[in-house]
Amino acid sequence: MNRRNVRRLAPLVVLVVLALLPYSTLNLPGLFDGVLNSPGTLQLLALCLVFGGVALSFDLLFGFTGLLSFGHALYFAAGTYGANLLLTELGWGLGAAIAATTVLGIVLPLVIGSVALRVSGIAFSMVTLATAQVGSIIVLQDPGGLTGGEEGLAVDRTPIPDAFVGVFNTVNKYWLALAYLVLVYAVVTWVTRSRAGRVWQAIRENERRVEVLGLRPYRFKLLVFVLAGLLATLGGIVHLLLLGGSTPRVTTADFTIGLLVMVVLGGAGSRWGAVLGGVLYTYLDSRLTDLASSPAVQDLPAWLRVPLSEPLFILGTLFILVVLFVPGGIAGLVDRLGERRRGRRRPAENPPPGRAVERLRDEIGAGVGGNRPHDGV
């Protein structure tokens, strides 16, 4: 079996392993507090899978299209709080709440993106940051006692099927989180390999040249903005079912910055890299919090105890080290090691810098697909 077939089968093998994980009684001391199929471990793994999917949705914006949005938390928050309010306040069924929240996940980024994408660069980032801050302020102000303010909002479990309620059903929540990750990965893989995906990569490299080719970058950027927002909204719904409530922490700009760290850590523009970055960051965030309160850290001298008691300090240091010494993140490091071992350059998952625009130009010149890309998104 050649390397190409191995790379194609790898996602399927990983999926099978993850799907069968709840049946394993393997104990990994130091990594997890219990066996793999214990509720606590499955809860942590499910969170890792959810944020792996959310990180990939952010990478669709940042890594594949070059849009640095600081407002991605808004759409995740819309998913968790929107579905929660429909279930808790209006008494809707789970199916109806998911459907309505999905519509919200399309309309909200469509409205915000249609305005924010009129500008570019730092201005675009600041507009998205401002919209996210508005959402965070609304949640914290707790208008009409709807959002729970700083305490968060517990979900009414009555409309939720019994399969997703209680500690003993953590395995079902784990599989739900895995299904969400598979959905996001499949959608991102499909769209990034489509004509629109090639245009997004060309926009990332040189938007002006894309305009010269007769395309309308604004429409393509709005499409990816809405799609990324929708995928993040769905992640918010899964997060709600997983935790049984909504927390204001997911509405802040810090949450989006965390997504940026996940993507950079794993490798921007790499699908599996973004997922791995999201999983690794979420795992470390949880385990470092436990480590900070452990006797091993509390007994250290103050000059060591204080920084090690702050998980964000350790994660920030890790981020700096990756940026300085591992450009391209984990995915980039794996690619470089593979090239050295084989003594030649393998075809990259995405066209190398400067090539996406050239490929798009060649496609337009050859009339690929029978229609020019600017005839429709």
Helices (H), 244-328: 253-266, 271-292, 295-298, 302-308, 311-325
CB 255 within 8 A of CB 28: no
Quick check: is 2 in a domain? no
pTM over 0.85: yes
Dihedral Cα 85, 128, 350, 343, nearest 10 deg: -110
pLDDT per residue over 249-302, tens digit each? 999 888 988 999 999 999 998 899 999 999 999 998 888 877 777 776 777 777
pLDDT per residue over 135-194, tens digit each? 999 999 999 889 999 999 999 999 999 999 888 899 999 999 999 999 999 999 999 999
Quick check: is 351 in a domain? yes
Quick check: is 155 in a domain? yes
CATH number (domain holding residue 161): 1.10.3470
Quick check: is 94 in a domain? yes
Quick check: is 11 in a domain? no
Quick check: is 191 in a domain? yes
Quick check: is 8 in a domain? no
Let me know how many helices (H) and strands (E) the chain has, helices first: 15, 2
- Owning domain of residue 127: 34-371
pLDDT per residue over 50-108, tens digit each? 999 999 999 999 999 999 999 999 999 999 999 999 999 999 999 999 999 999 999 99
Number of domains forming the structure of the chain: 1
pLDDT at 350: 54
- 352 or 45, greater pLDDT: 45
pLDDT at 9: 81
